[in-house]
Amino acid sequence: MSNPAPAALIDIRSDLRDPQPGWSAVFALTLCVSTLIASEFMPVSLLTPIARDLALSEGTAGQAIAISGLFAVITSLCVARLSAGVDRRHLLMGLTALMAASGVVVAAAPNFMVLMVGRAMIGVVIGGFWSMSAATVMRLVPARDVPRALALLNGGNALATTFAAPLGSFLGQYIGWRGAFFVVVPLAALTFAWKYFALPSLPAPMAADQAGVFGILRKPKVAIGMAATALLFMGQFAAFTYFRPFLEHVTGVGISTLSLILLGLGGAGLVGNAVIGRFVARSLLGTLLVMPVLLALVALGLIRWGHQPLATGVLLALWGCIGTAAPVAWWAWMARALPDDAEAGGGLMVAVIQMAITLGAAVGGVLFDHLGYRASFALAALLLLLSGLLGLFCVPEGSKR
């Protein structure tokens, strides 16, 4: 007997039994994803000039990542109730306009407080967009094309993750960090115009039972898995957020070499994203254990050999290959652990990931400022090892391979 679909998905499918292809809208959403992810992670490659211009420590400037994550968490947990009855077309366009406004505010920020306001705005966009992205795609294309459309959306994510850091570093060298952030504005304007012409009316679906989002945590393996996911992202961002000042002050590389290393990190991420499916299919349990352990070893390797440019470049490429692919394994875990509650599980996972990014960047920044990079990277290694350990206990029976 087949498993029943979640109530919200039943409602969507019953409203649109024979949806017309909406590939132009899917491409518009993909551009939105790329612009959004680039905006989210732009500070990683621009911490040093931001800190210098606004008279901040690099750890304090790193809170630009933390604040966007915090507001993404709040938004992802509240957007369904706050937007009840709102046409999703209008909501998505409003979020796109907010993304453009965020770029303007950050680029013009005269002080730390205004910078944080701009970053909080992008956090709202992150939480709102990702909470409804999959459901929106399901309403734009026929059921047989949904996997291909979602893959396209995730491709925009991977592409932006690959090039955001090196592109930000490159642009910052020639037009300053403010100019680099302002580049988001015309891209957001293009996305807004494309959505205006491509997105059809998308009436709000029937509200799902919001208690289900937290009710799934009553399942022990789900609770353990969410904790392991949180530790993975906390560990990654306790180190990843501070790679630029580490490369400048410890490795001692110039802007050109720094950009090349960050490009290598991103390019390796594309490779990892392309092959991770094979490892997950072969052994989900092994993948959830091995990947965070390897990341922990990379963090420890950076402590040991971080002053050597070649060794550091190789280690960061390995970090990019594994770190970009690791979340794919956890989404695969969620699909197996919650086959009947995938929508609720996905919403909760978005909140967990964003909160983990916030905590990892915040705690890592405090340690970076007061105890140095060794403390931040050692914390990252510890959290990643704990993630791998918990991964041993959360894979559902029958999915041990």
1-48 pLDDT, tens digit each: 334 333 333 343 434 434 445 888 989 998 998 888 888 877 777 888
Can you tell me the mean pLDDT for 111-123?
Answer: 90
Q: How far apart are CA 95 and CA 91, in angstroms?
A: 6
- For residue 385, count other CB atoms closer than 10 A to its CB: 19
Q: Is the pLDDT of residue 116 over 70?
A: yes
pLDDT of residue 343: 55
Confidence (pLDDT) at 340? 63
| Average pLDDT of the chain, as a whole number | 82
**Measured between alpha carbons, how far is 90 from 124 in angstroms, rounded to an integer?**
15
Q: Which two tokens stand for residue 119?
A: 């970053």
Residue 232 to residue 235: CA distance in whole angstroms: 5
The string of DSSP letters for 234-294 reads HHHHHHHTTHHHHIIIII---HHHHHHHHHHHHHHHHHHHHHHHHHHHH-HHHHHHHHHHH
Mean pLDDT value across residues 248-271: 86
Query: Which range, of 92-101, 119-128, 300-309, averages the lowest pLDDT?
Result: 119-128
CA 174/CA 171 separation, integer angstroms:
5
The sign of the torsion formed by the CA atoms of 368, 50, 312, 265 equals positive
pLDDT of residue 184: 86
Nearest CA to 38 among 182, 230, 235? 182
Q: What is the DSSP letter of 73?
A: H
pLDDT, mean of residues 63-81: 79
* Structure tokens that stand for 267 in this block: 């390019």
Q: How far apart are CA 241 and CA 247, in angstroms?
A: 12
Owner of token pair 């369904």: 80
How do residues 291-344 score in pLDDT, each as one tens digit?
A: 999 999 999 999 999 999 999 999 999 999 898 888 778 877 876 777 666 556
Tokens 């498993």, located at residue: 3
User: pLDDT of 157-200, one tens digit each?
Assistant: 777 766 776 777 778 778 888 988 898 899 999 999 999 999 98
In the predicted structure, residue 87 carries a pLDDT above the cut 80 = yes
User: What tokens does 103 get?
Assistant: 């770029």
Please report the pLDDT score of residue 208 as a whole number. 46
Percent of the chain with pLDDT over 90: 33
The separation between the first and the last C-alpha atoms of the chain, rounded to the nearest angstrom, is: 24
**Residue 142 binned pLDDT confidence (cut-offs 50, 70, 90):** confident
